Homo-oligomer: A and B are copies of this chain.
């Protein structure tokens, strides 16, 4: 088991990563002095609930906690104000008070949704994340919580840091293969923005990671979380540095939106986005190897690196313009300088992006 501290002054919290943690949740809650008199609310989804909810409830109840739970539909559609309001109803009817804790048991969807409930219920109660996807090593660190508006993703939310993150890697064994690859995409991103040697490690360990080898997972997730934690500690509210976490996301989000959030998983979309960012960097004069290494890396993980030929450039560009990362009509773009190092620029034009979309569409047809 590994412990990592996210340094945010009085909002600092630990991340525990290891096997068998779910069954010890009650003890972790006691160790963190979480109130026993007030009921706890567990939010999970219909895939994760049947697998892990009763184990979690049992552990908490054995330590003397009262729990209520809400199981939402699996998938991005649950990150809505409607489902948010339903959970609020459960919370009020269940008698949650200011000392209650909201627990997210699941992937990034449940984490973002339950986190916004915790941020807003009675103007904020405590929050604990129990991530069950690889992608959630990213979403559970940093305190960004949100629901979607029908016009744009993650538009309504808050910064709300958890009390702790309990990452039981055993739960990852039941994760569908496509979600495994998608989650590893964010892990690789953390190498690409911050640490060349971690990128090399990811490449060397690709088979073990895809096979969900526990030791490799614990190491990779710890490194990934730790990079994210370092970035977030420096810039909690994304005034500057934190933007580097958006490598691959400007185009990635646009691809997700254009594909109607059904075609690509998040990790798949940003895999293409990171390859595109490498290509843009090369087109602007960086060494060609940046693109080749990036592309090869994602291919090893079975992640997409080209854009389907039937997707329309104009649609993708239009979707990009709606993104939160647009500041006064300028594109804020994260580009690699080399493997393990990025820069934030504001002079990438819509035409530069259009051009690289065309290149990645052509690339796809050569295969």
Contact = CB atoms under 8 A, between A and B. Distances in A.
Interface of A: 37-38, 81, 84-85, 88-89, 92-93, 97-99, 119-124, 144, 146, 149, 151-152, 155-159, 237, 324, 326-328
The quantity of this chain's copies bound in the complex is 2
Given A92-B155, A155-B121, A155-B122, A85 B149 contact: yes
User: Mostly helix, strand, loop or mixed at chain A's interface?
Assistant: mixed
Nearest to A322: B92
**Which 4 residue pairs are nearest across A and B when measured between Cβ atoms?**
A37-B328, A123-B157, A92-B151, A120-B156
25 contacts: A37-B328, A38-B328, A81-B81, A88-B149, A88-B155, A88-B156, A89-B149, A89-B151, A92-B152, A93-B151, A97-B324, A97-B328, A98-B327, A99-B327, A99-B328, A119-B158, A120-B120, A120-B156, A120-B157, A121-B156, A122-B157, A123-B144, A124-B158, A124-B237, A158-B158
Given A88-B149, A89-B151, A93-B151, A159 B324 contact: no
A167 B119 CA distance: 29
Contacts of A85: 81, 149
A155 to B, nearest CB: 6
A85 B151 CA distance: 11
Given A37-B328, A81-B81, 17 more contacts: A81-B84, A81-B85, A88-B155, A88-B156, A89-B151, A93-B151, A97-B327, A98-B324, A99-B328, A119-B158, A120-B156, A120-B158, A122-B155, A122-B157, A123-B146, A123-B159, A158-B158
Nearest to A84: B81
Contacts of A151: 89, 92-93
Contacts of A123: 144, 146, 157-159
A99 B144 CA distance: 18
Contacts of A146: 123
Contacts of A156: 88, 120-121
A231 to B, nearest CB: 16
A237 B355 CA distance: 51
